[in-house]
Amino acid sequence: MPARVKKKDMKTVDRKSLYDIEDYKLIFETESHHEHLVIEDEMGTLRWKSDPSVREILDRVNLNDIWMLFMKMGLTKNSEEVRKLYRDMGYSLSGYWEVFYWEMNNEDAKKYKPKKKKKRA
């Protein structure tokens, strides 16, 4: 029986510690309206912390079908709902940048307008 390999614990990463990576800095400065946690997974990949409920749903539903629903609803890659889903999926930061910020995948990337942070009363 093979020996069990102990998985390295996922750790939360401070966004500001990643500002020296230009693409990540762009994401964090553009999307400063949310405080979604960034983690480093057991393989050393930087990603958004996933929501277990979203992961469970996506185990049963095809992401392409969800995109068909988004399109019928008039949502695009610049819609906050779409971006939030990708964050909740636990998407890697590099993949997130490619999907939402690279003009080869999102020709309207520069038109993204993040929601304003809610002011506390």
Query: So where are the chain's domains?
Result: 12-110
- Orientation of helix 93-100 relative to helix 80-89, angle to 10°: 160
What the block records as the tokens of 79 is 């819609």
Q: How many residues does the chain have?
A: 121
Instruction: Quickly count helices (H) and strands (E) in the chain.
Output: 5, 3
Q: Is 96 exposed, middle or buried (0-12, 13-18, 19+ CB in 10 A)?
A: buried
pLDDT of residue 114: 82
pLDDT of residue 14: 94
Cβ atoms of 109 and 27 closer than 8 Å = no
pTM score of the predicted model: 0.84
pLDDT in tens, the chain (121 residues): 344 434 456 899 999 999 999 999 999 999 998 999 999 999 999 999 999 999 999 999 999 999 999 999 999 999 999 999 999 999 999 999 999 999 998 998 888 888 776 555 5
Closest CA to 24 of 115, 111, 92, 82: 92
